[in-house]
Structure 1
Amino acid sequence: MTHTRTRLERGRNALGPALELVHTGRAPTRSVLTTELGVTRATAGAVATELQTLGLITVDSRPSAAPGSQGRPSHRLAIADDGPVVLAAQVHADGFRAALVGLGGRIVATAPGCMTVDADPAQVLGEVVAAGTALLRDSGRRCVGAGLAVPSAVAEPEGTALNPLHVAWPAGAPVRAIFNRCLADAGLDVTGFCGNDVNLAALAEHRHGAGRAAAHLLCVATGHRGVGGALVLDGRLHTGSDGLALEVGHLTVDPQGRPCHCGGRGCLDVETDPLALLDAAGRTPDPEASPLDQANEVVRAAYAPDATARDTAARAAVATVIDRLGLGLAGLVNILNPDRIILGGLHRRLLEADPARLRAVVEERSLWGRSGTIPILACTLDHNSLVGAAELAWQPVLDDPLAARGEWDLIVVDTPPSRSALDFLDA
């Protein structure tokens, strides 16, 4: 009996790790799940069945065999298409966007982005939740959590926005508390979480995108304004003692450069963001349009086959900003020694436009350039900060799927109410 009880406990303890393996695409079959978990085939089967009963994954017990393969193929595991979702939202300098995101980082639905951000965070987050609630009503999906990405360092665990430099919110705004109050006012009985937008983008890319399998992942990105950075170590975000780690936007790359919002001068934040590129190219920003879209258009025009003289000047501006970015990345590499760098937003476009130039600057100005090469890749996920915000909301489910069963009031099918698939390991 002692041995059987141990098997049962192992099965229940394996639910969270098993769900995370399927969630991140690392266990596409029951055979792989068995190996990754280090359990018996029977336990892996019971775990997969329980996750299916919870409505989180699907198990295909009769998958088609690949041409030329021998033996019966292993059961296929996939995220349930009609499973629960979380409400995810991102606030940035020029607006916000709300979405419904399922397991696997799948964006189920999005609301059109709003281009106004009120100075009162309660007003903005109320609109965010209203947009998300409308998506839930239209989809008919069950919501099990909520996550929010904001353009500020976020103190942990309080969830206060410490330095929202690019939105007019007061420093120290209790964003997480406001978010949860808005969710409750909208009748959503879920817990809301919040985090820095670039941190969450890095988390999403590490689990579902260009950062998969990296042990020490450095992410640097610029969105509508400003520059952010994030570091993922052994699958976990490194946020420092108070949530302020990796404020790479305030790394100086030109001591004689532009004044920065932080009080310094020549920071990445003001030397390599969209407004910096527009300024270097001699373009006056259109206040009615997104700075990121305008900067991306400068990059596109600069490298177009039919580039004009004006576009040639833009190409010189792009090269200047690439060199500044390369200097910043080289300094970060010397300090952090990552095994992969991923770039998002405008930085992704700069890498795609002239990868050789950027990599050459980083190699020349960093110690590892003399002994090896660290991959510099473009982020691959659309709306990766939204997906990262969803990861915050999914984490409690990944930690303990069985506890979530009671919270969601799921109807358990094909199994007596008093027992789960794992209980049959006692037999």
Structure 2
Amino acid sequence: MNGKSTTTRTKLERGRSALGPALELVHTGRAPTRAVLTSELGVTRATAGAVAAELEALGLIRVDSSPGSAAGSQGRPSHRLSVRDGGPVALAAQVHSDGFRAALVGLGGRTVATAPGCVAVMADPAQVLGEVVEAGARLLRESGLRCVGAGLAVPSAVAEPEGTALNPLHIAWPAGAPVREIFSACVRAAGITGPAFTGNDVNLAALAEHRHGAGRGAQHLLCVATGHRGVGGALVLDGRLHSGSSGLALEVGHLTVNPEGRPCHCGGRGCLDVETDPLAFLTAARREPGPEESLLKQSGDLLRTEYGDPDVRAAAEELIDRLGLGLAGLVNILNPDRIILGGLHRDLLEADPERLRAVVADRSLWGRSGSVPILSCTLNHNSLVGAAELAWQPVLDDPLAALA
């Protein structure tokens, strides 16, 4: 083989090895133009152009070769890059204590279609997962879009590598239910192509927020959130979820913040899980939970519309102080560079941001730790978007192999 052929093959291999990193840059919004893509990948303009063209040929991105120049700018504007409308999607599913939801999510974290499901979760995980997958399969049939895989978010720690839900405390599933195996079987039975994945709902919310929302750009991101019941936490380090040796890291809901507090499902007392979740707020505010709406929605609506009521304000301050105590402990241990809050915790932050930040600062060991930014999650249905991220990951790793 002559030298020219060898050089051509080397350039082609280098370009193809850059497909995954290039797609992730466009997917996360970090390469809006071909010039930025060239810089981020550290390749030549020609290689970046070839990579972008191949991703476009795969139906994943759109390359705009004639973008308008900004007023007063000089020189030829760089080609703009964006995820393609009408491209492939991932099937995302979420189960929580008040029901389930299915969605189709494209690159860029874009939710293409959603299908709300039941309002009560049955005790048989196979029945629930079969129904949520069928809801997703209907969305796929109606859309006619290609599916790259499926992801499921569950309100439980998910043990690795088995994919079992160890402690689904707020739904009536048996401990150790093989949710990944069941979900995968349901996906195959529905005729959906691509691999199937399962993860903890707050872990997946953190992953989605890191790639597309309030956590973008953080190196050490701590996420703490209420679900429809209970409290969860997650840590993203250098873009990767920190899940521990077996998937069980960051069970922050079982930090004690009130030693004389309510009994917790874990056997302890006064855990974040029972002291700062929606039911705890409604109880502290002397409100009777209604059966017609989720506890998360009831508590959020109450906080936003009746904060002037003395009982509601007192309840909010009580929960803020306990949440701040828990966050300060986590800051002391983990030293994150950003905290994001979801669910009711986001609403508590927005109701009285100074109080929460003051509690965290007061309880932090180091003044530097006390100044860590605390922000609200910004994505709608971030656990669903995170479930889709699991399904998109093989494509981000190797687009050619995943879409072959």
| 1:141 aligned partner | 145
- Which sections of structure 1, spanning at least 5 residues, go unmatched? 407-427
Higher relative contact order (CA 8 A, sep 6+): 1
| 1:150 aligned partner | 154
Q: 2:64 aligns with which of 27, 42, 60?
A: 60
Q: 1:301 aligns with which of 299, 302, 305?
A: 305
Distance in 1, matches of 2:310 and 2:306, equals 6
| 1:410 aligned partner | none
| 1:339 aligned partner | 337
| Counterpart check, 1:86 vs 2:90 | yes
Q: Secondary structure at the match of 1:367?
A: coil
Shift of residue 6 of structure 1?
A: 2.3
Q: Deviations over 1:148-187 (max 9, x none)?
A: 0000001122211111111111111110110111111111
Alignment of 1:348-427 (within 5 A): 348-369=346-367, 373-406=371-404
Q: Deviations over 1:105-146 (max 9, x none)?
A: 000000024211110000000000110011111111111100
Shift of residue 373 of structure 1?
A: 1.0
Shift of residue 370 of structure 1?
A: 5.9
Q: 2:220 aligns with which of 199, 216, 222?
A: 216
Residue pair 2:219, 2:337 contacting (<8 A) in 1 also: yes
1:92–1:124: structure 2 CA closer, same or farther, 3 Å change rule? same
Q: Which amino acid aligns with 1:200?
A: L
| Counterpart check, 1:187 vs 2:199 | no
Q: Deviations over 1:394-425 (max 9, x none)?
A: 0000000011231xxxxxxxxxxxxxxxxxxx
Distance in 1, matches of 2:368 and 2:95, equals 41
Q: Secondary structure at the match of 1:111?
A: strand
Distance in 2, matches of 1:188 and 1:142, equals 9
Q: Deviations over 1:17-75 (max 9, x none)?
A: 00000000000000000000001111100000000000000101111101111000001
Distance in 1, matches of 2:148 and 2:195, equals 8
Q: Which amino acid aligns with 1:274?
A: P
| 2:253 aligned partner | 249
Residue pair 2:360, 2:370 contacting (<8 A) in 1 also: no
Q: Secondary structure at the match of 1:343?
A: strand
| 2:326 aligned partner | 328
Shift of residue 223 of structure 1?
A: 1.7
Residue pair 1:88, 1:146 contacting (<8 A) in 2 also: yes
Q: Which runs of 4+ in 1 moved over 4 A?
A: none
Q: Deviations over 1:84-115 (max 9, x none)?
A: 00100110011000000000000000002421
Q: 2:8 aligns with which of 4, 8, 11?
A: 4
Q: Secondary structure at the match of 1:231?
A: strand
Q: Secondary structure at the match of 1:220?
A: strand
| 2:209 aligned partner | 205
Distance in 1, matches of 2:244 and 2:323, equals 23
Alignment of 1:87-106 (within 5 A): 87-106=91-110
Q: Which amino acid aligns with 1:177?
A: E
1:371–1:274: structure 2 CA closer, same or farther, 3 Å change rule? closer
Q: Secondary structure at the match of 1:138?
A: helix
Q: Which amino acid aligns with 1:136?
A: L
Q: Secondary structure at the match of 2:354?
A: helix
| 2:311 aligned partner | 313
Distance in 2, matches of 1:15 and 1:260, equals 48
- Matched residue count: 400
Q: 1:29 aligns with which of 33, 37, 41?
A: 33
Shift of residue 287 of structure 1?
A: 2.8
Q: Secondary structure at the match of 1:404?
A: helix
Residue pair 2:223, 2:341 contacting (<8 A) in 1 also: yes
Q: Deviations over 1:241-277 (max 9, x none)?
A: 1111000000000111000000010000000000000
Q: CA RMSD in A?
A: 1.1
Residue pair 1:205, 1:384 contacting (<8 A) in 2 also: yes
Q: Which amino acid aligns with 1:379?
A: C
Distance in 2, matches of 1:323 and 1:110, equals 36
| 1:120 aligned partner | 124
Shift of residue 372 of structure 1?
A: 5.5
Distance in 2, matches of 1:177 and 1:108, equals 26
Q: Secondary structure at the match of 1:87?
A: strand
Q: 2:112 aligns with which of 75, 92, 108?
A: 108
Distance in 1, matches of 2:157 and 2:146, equals 30
TM-score, normalised with respect to structure 2: 0.97
Distance in 1, matches of 2:46 and 2:275, equals 57
Distance in 2, matches of 1:188 and 1:100, equals 12
Distance in 2, matches of 1:368 and 1:105, equals 36
| 1:411 aligned partner | none
Q: Deviations over 1:343-380 (max 9, x none)?
A: 00000000000000000000000123367511000000
Shift of residue 79 of structure 1?
A: 0.3
| 1:280 aligned partner | 284
Distance in 2, matches of 1:297 and 1:143, equals 36
Q: Which amino acid aligns with 2:200?
A: N
| 1:263 aligned partner | 267
Q: Which amino acid aligns with 2:51?
A: V
